[in-house]
Amino acid sequence: MKGMVTAFVVTLIAAAAPAQQPKVSDAQFRVEPMDRSLAATIERVRHSSDQVWMGYEVAAVPGVRISACSDWSKSSDSDDGCCGEYRLEDEFSTHHTSNDRVTRNVYVLYRFEKGELLKVRSVGAGCRLNAGGVNFAWLEGVKAEESIAYLAGLVNQPSSSHKVLEEALLSISFHAAAEATRTLEQIASSSGSEHTREQAAFWLGVQRGHEGFVALKSLEEKGDAHFREKLAFDFSQNSDPAAEDELIHMAKFDADDRVRGQALFWIAQKAGKRATQTLTDAIQNDPETDVKKKAVFALSQLPKDEGVPQLIHVADTNTNPEVRKQAFFWLGQSGDPRAVAYLEQVLKK
């Protein structure tokens, strides 16, 4: 009983502990008080200096591996699991996925110049930051829902640059709060910009796991053929095992031949041995020659021990001359000894 009480108290303390302030160099660092809302606080702070970085910390989606750096030379002796110091003013600093550091929290950072938003950054919490001589304002106690709403406002703001829009979508996708998934789905279904819709759907697939998969399914049901074609890739990037089944379903039953062809390609990249059966079924039964040819190409993307025998079978038995021609071409490109021997045998006939 005593152990249970101790664990409960420790949990309460951990939950109540505020996020630690970031380690920021080359900056005049200050903590800003929060106004009635995040939007109101940002509105006030962004006009407080000609140049300012502003940021806060929120919980990251479980299991996400994120770091960010521009100083790769320090990656070997890093003491915080990050890949060196991240120079915020470096234009070439980019999001970098780490193989060995799972981030529980993420910094969301904004760069303002004379009140105008120039950049949005997402950095794994705990990583060292270099502000490049620009003032740095830190906000504490920011609610995830307010952060997501503010970022979504940037996405929907016509004056936002292309770069800011994409960075804002990425930042939304890192939030642990379920509202992030709902917001990305809403953007993907209603944004006036096709590119914005596609980017929101992409991050649903990459970052949001099962809930992202459910959102992609909903988008698939409502989307036109061009959008569904893009969704095939998003399903291929999703971690939910059901995403593989959905790709196979798209390849077999979508009404549009371009969608079926795209789904076949990504099946070859994701579905392993299950891909072979789906691809050979499409080559045999799909009504469109173009889809059959895409399935042949997808066979060429499988591991050679799986793909080459199937390509030989198609070249040897398929009744469609265009499909057989495609199989011969990809056999020739494979350089596999079995393919070479088969092609030599055909030439001798």
Checking if the pLDDT of 97 tops 50, the result is no
Q: Is the pLDDT of residue 77 over 60?
A: no
Q: Which pLDDT band, with edges at 50, 70 and 90, does 71 fall under?
A: low
pLDDT, tens digit (0-9, with 9 covering 90-100), for 242-267: 999 999 999 999 999 999 999 999 99
Tell me: the pLDDT tens digits for 260-317? 999 999 999 886 678 899 999 999 999 999 999 999 999 999 998 999 999 999 999 9
- With a cut of 90, say whether residue 172 has pLDDT above it: yes
Residue 213 pLDDT exceeds 70: yes
Nearest-angstrom CA–CA distance, 162 and 52: 21
> Residue 69's pLDDT is what?
57
Condensed to tens digits (0 to 9), the pLDDT of residues 15-46 reads 434 568 999 999 999 999 999 999 999 999 99
Q: How confident is the model at residue 8 (pLDDT cuts 50, 70, 90)?
A: very low
pLDDT value at position 15?
Answer: 40
* Whether the predicted pLDDT of 1 surpasses 50: no
Q: What is the pTM of this model?
A: 0.85
Sheet holding 135-139, edge to edge: 29-32, 135-139, 51-59, 105-113, 116-124
By mean pLDDT, which of 80-89, 160-169, 229-238 is the weakest? Answer: 80-89
- At 191 the pLDDT is 78
**CA-to-CA distance for 88 and 68, rounded, in angstroms?**
10
Cα–Cα separations (whole angstroms), residue 93 to 96, 155, 215: 9, 21, 31
Read off φ and ψ for residue 273, nearest 5 degrees.
Answer: -65, -25
Q: 168 pLDDT band (50/70/90 cuts)?
A: very high
Q: What rounded mean pLDDT belongs to the chain?
A: 88
Residues whose CB is less than 8 angstroms from the CB of residue 222 and which lie 6 or more positions away in sequence, other chains included: 189
Please enumerate in sequence order all residues whose Cβ is within 8 A of that of 102, keeping only pairs 6 or more positions apart, or say none. Answer: 63, 64, 65
- The rounded Cα 18 to chain-centroid distance in angstroms is 29
Cα 270 versus chain centre, distance: 16
- What are phi and psi for residue 171, nearest 5 degrees? -60, -40
* CA-based nearest residue to 325, from 315, 317, 336, 310: 315
Amino acid occupying residue 123: V
